[in-house]
Amino acid sequence: MADKELGRVRADFVTSVSKAVIKLLLDDLVEDGVLNDMESESILEENDSRADKARCLIDIVKKKGDTASSKMIVHLKSRDSSLYEKLGLSCSQPSQAVPAPDPRKPPEWSDTLINTTEQFWKMKMDDQSIYHVTKDAFKNRVALLITNIKFTDGKFNRNGAEKDEENMRNLLSALGYEVVQYTNLTGKAINKALIDFSKHPRLKDTDSVLVVIMSHGKLGAVLGVDCKEPLCANEEQDAFEVNNIYKQLSSDKCPALLNKPKIIIIQACRGEERGAVLVSDCAKPDLVCDDLKQPSPSLPADEEGLEDDTLRCVHKEKDFISLLSCTPDTVSYRDKNQGSILIQYIVQVFNTFAHQDDVEELFRKVMQRFEDFSVPNRRQMPTKDRCTLTRRFYFFPGL
């Protein structure tokens, strides 16, 4: 096995290989797809001595298995035949080259969260364009998870939302966050839970927070478990105004989160012109939406809080990013067995790419998944909202 061959000659390779040959091998292995650009750069930049560079190179390639190790041996023979012979290596061209990924094909989604590498984290720590993440801050991460499943009026129950709650709890925990979890809250209780969270003792030491709220919704608000069908335009509804999240976690009310990313995910409809009850899609009965009719579709925008959103001072909302499950004029869909489509896609994308992509890129990939999502006469498109991130934020799972 080629990887065992590399292990056998490791000490002599580290002692004998030149810096110039190391650079040539890195170029060859990047071109072959054995290493990516970030791995190559980290080997060169994060190791001061020639021996450390050689040691890091052979260890990384050896861990990638027999095919990768075979390619390195082949390249060493062509780049430094005398060293190749001195090490007593033998090589054979791998029977099958590792194919380059086809960008036209969908990725293979991971069922579990892929951890980042120590090298990738260290490389990013030298980048001034990202939010720095220390291991101590990583250990103090905390997230708020609120899921409304059972409602006072049982016909509004969100079947399948139990799966959303489980999926998000598992994902947040895997990303290193202590999860503060609530289930089945009124609008007033949601607000209290948020205020309590803004005083959490870990916030001063964390590098970021995540707030995830899943329920029925209307434009600018998430509905509490006591919500009901409005009988008239002026009837008060059990609701939590989304804008309160930005108020309670802002720089003035929550200074512990100053200059730290605050990531908001809301799974709730935002439509105004749907029916007064939950809608089952006739083409796929298991797919339903979290829509309730608005008190009045003719209400002016300022009564919905939209003017406050657009005029909010940026400095008070610095370092926020939100992903809402749909655009203002549409509903979001939930499978009665598998849970909300948005949450399913978030878990898939984060599991597969959070080890290498920043949060904005992760959100973009989630949105991209909805390009091919369609039920006859139905569409859903998540929306990045009120983003005031000034740098890129990486989760660095497994740090």
The whole-angstrom separation of Cα 194 and Cα 255 is 15
> What single string gives the DSSP state of each residue in 158-198?
-TTHHHHHHHHHHHHHHTTPEEEEEES--HHHHHHHHHHHH
Selection from 330, 347, 353 nearest residue 168 by Cα:
347
Catalytic residue among 56, 75, 200, 216: 216
Question: Would residue 132 show up in a list of annotated catalytic residues for this protein?
Answer: no
3-state secondary structure (DSSP) of residue 288: strand
φ, ψ for residue 266, nearest 5 deg: -125, 120
Amino acid at 253: K
Active-site residue 75, yes or no? no
Determine whether 67 is exposed, middle or buried from the number of CB atoms within 10 Å of its CB (0-12, 13-18, 19+): middle
What are the residue ranges of helices labelled H in 92-132? 118-124
The catalytic position among 91, 254, 269, 289 is 269
Cα–Cα distance measured from residue 238 to residue 226, given in angstroms and rounded to the nearest whole number:
6
Q: 231 burial class (0-12, 13-18, 19+ CB within 10 angstroms)? A: exposed
Under 8 Å CB-to-CB from 200, ≥6 apart: which residues?
A: 142, 180
Active site residues: 216, 269
